[in-house]
């Protein structure tokens, strides 16, 4: 199983020369199994280059089908849907899985509201878009064994995901507010024994400012989940747009000083072989 990081930033894209090493695009991942099954996670701006890359994989000819798991509906995880090239080509199929306070399709439809988006409606997309509301438990996706867990994230509903293929296990927890007392037990159970845990680590232990306002986890919470769940490797993601490359370097150094687990920060454009 391979994971490609198309976007690793939280809240909004970070542009400029100080952000090029870790990358500035918001959340988007591609997971490919050894047998070639593929799924996407989130529609942050990283999904725009991902969508372009898919055009060479059958999606350019309208012969593509892609399941996409949404971690939640904040714009840093959904805003690129109106710019995801495969949806403009008839014949393609995109199945979106997620959860929100109401029906997910109605929320995604609001992204296309004519006041804010000239496409006007999901129905104007040429591809077939199917939206699936998930509850806690298994989600049937070809080529993978997938488990969903709904978690609190601000006032929104987040979804943590576990994805298995080729005997490997990946846990993705990128939208979560853990309680001050420690990690949510259910997330620890979801991540238990994962080969790789990709966890929200927006903020360092000492960040203030927007850290209290915008939600998002601190590195300490990511480490606590990883250690309690006994994962093999922790990858930090959802980097704050205030953190330039040097700040993320420092955040990783600090995290490594606080755990014996292998820890790294997700880097846009890199492929992780699990």
Partner 1 sequence: MQAVFWGVRGSYPTPGPETVRYGGNTACVEIGSASGERVVVDAGTGLARLGEVLAADGGGAEIHLLLSHLHWDHIQGLPFFAPCHQREARIAVHALRPDALRLAEIVRGVARHEFFPVALDDMAAQFDFHEVRPGAAFRAGAFAVRPFRLNHPFGAIGYRVSADGTHCAYVCDTAPFDLLLNKKHFLRGPEPLTAADRRLLQSRRAALIAAIRGCDTVIYDTHYTPDEYARFPHYGHSTPDHALDMCAGIGVRCVVLFHHAPNHTDAMMDEIDATYRARGAALGLEVVTAREGLVLPMGPGRCAPYLRSEAQR
* Residues binding partner 1 (CB under 8 A): 9, 11-20, 23-25, 45, 48, 73-75, 78-80, 82-83, 100-101, 107, 110-111, 113-121, 124, 154-156, 210, 213-216, 241-242
Least distance CB 156 / partner 1 (angstroms): 6
Sign of dihedral through CA atoms 223, 228, 231, 232? positive
Q: Check if the beta carbon of residue 73 is closer than 8 Å to that of residue 67.
A: no
Token pair of 261, please?
């687990």
Alpha carbons 211 and 205: distance in angstroms, whole number: 10
Q: How far is CA 130 from CA 79, 135, 243, in A?
A: 17, 16, 36
Alpha carbons 95 and 199: distance in angstroms, whole number: 24
CB of 53 or CB of 65, closer to partner 1: 53
Least distance CB 193 / partner 1 (angstroms): 31
Q: How far is CA 87 from CA 18, 43, 166, 179, 235, in A?
A: 32, 12, 29, 38, 30
Residues whose CB is less than 8 angstroms from the CB of residue 236 and which lie 6 or more positions away in sequence, other chains included: 199, 201, 219, 222, 251, 252, 255, 263, 264, 265, 266
CB of 213 or CB of 257, closer to partner 1: 213
CB of 124 or CB of 128, closer to partner 1: 124
CB of 18 or CB of 233, closer to partner 1: 18
Least distance CB 89 / partner 1 (angstroms): 14
CB of 41 or CB of 104, closer to partner 1: 104
Least distance CB 18 / partner 1 (angstroms): 7
Least distance CB 30 / partner 1 (angstroms): 17
Least distance CB 11 / partner 1 (angstroms): 6
H helix count then E strand count, the chain: 7, 14
CB of 113 or CB of 128, closer to partner 1: 113
């Amino acid at each position: 199983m391979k994971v490609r990081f198309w976007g690793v930033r939280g809240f909004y894209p970070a542009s400029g020369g100080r952000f090029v090493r870790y990358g500035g695009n918001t959340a988007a991942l591609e997971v490919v199994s050894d047998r070639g099954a593929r799924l996407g996670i989130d529609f942050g701006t990283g999904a725009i280059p991902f969508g372009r890359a898919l055009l060479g994989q059958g999606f350019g000819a309208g012969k593509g089908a892609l399941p996409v798991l949404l971690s939640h509906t904040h714009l840093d995880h959904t805003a690129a849907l109106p710019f995801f090239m495969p949806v403009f080509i008839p014949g393609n199929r995109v199945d979106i899985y997620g959860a929100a306070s109401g029906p997910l399709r109605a929320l995604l439809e609001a992204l296309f509201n004519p006041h804010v988006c000239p496409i006007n409606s999901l129905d104007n997309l040429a591809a077939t878009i199917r939206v699936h509301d998930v509850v806690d438990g298994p989600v049937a996706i070809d080529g993978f064994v997938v488990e969903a867990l709904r978690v609190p994230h601000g006032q929104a509903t987040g979804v943590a995901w576990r994805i298995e293929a080729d005997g490997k296990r990946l846990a993705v927890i990128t939208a979560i507010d853990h309680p001050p007392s420690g990690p949510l037990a259910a997330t620890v159970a979801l991540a238990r024994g994962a080969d790789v845990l990709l966890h929200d680590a927006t903020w360092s232990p000492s960040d203030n400012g927007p850290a209290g306002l915008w939600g998002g986890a601190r590195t300490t919470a990511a480490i606590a989940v990883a250690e309690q769940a006994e994962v093999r490797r922790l990858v930090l993601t959802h980097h704050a747009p205030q953190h330039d490359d040097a700040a993320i370097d420092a955040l990783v150094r600090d995290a490594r000083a606080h755990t014996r687990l292998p820890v790294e920060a997700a880097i846009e454009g890199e492929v992780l072989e699990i």
